[in-house]
């Protein structure tokens, strides 16, 4: 498995390969006109910024701290847990 540091310095094509083969999709959110897809490798998180208008990936970001998950918190609902 690739480390966070190795992922950050990898070429764009390698990052795409890792996302496709070695991650689990978690959730998507809107960011302006783009969609951001969140994936988890087991060790760190990967965000893929995609433009539906241009039909291409704009950016890939990786992080391992929980602060990076804050933009996704509003998409999470605990209502089904009956708490």
Domain ranges of the chain: 4-81
pTM > 0.85? yes
Identify which of 17, 19, 18, 39 has the alpha carbon closest to the alpha carbon of residue 28: 39
Q: Could you tell me the pLDDT band of residue 22, with boundaries at 50, 70 and 90?
A: very high
Percent pLDDT > 90 in the chain is 82
Q: Give CA torsion, residues 35, 36, 38, 44, to 10 deg.
A: 160
Domain 4-81 annotated CATH 3.90.550: no
């Amino acid at each position: 498995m690739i480390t966070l540091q190795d992922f950050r310095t990898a070429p764009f094509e390698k990052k795409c390969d890792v996302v496709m083969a070695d991650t689990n999709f978690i959730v998507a959110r809107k960011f302006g006109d783009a969609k951001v897809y969140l994936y988890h490798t087991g060790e760190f998180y990967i965000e893929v910024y995609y433009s539906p208008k241009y039909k291409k990936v704009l950016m890939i970001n990786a992080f391992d701290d929980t602060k990076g998950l804050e933009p996704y918190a509003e998409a999470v609902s605990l209502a089904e847990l009956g708490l």
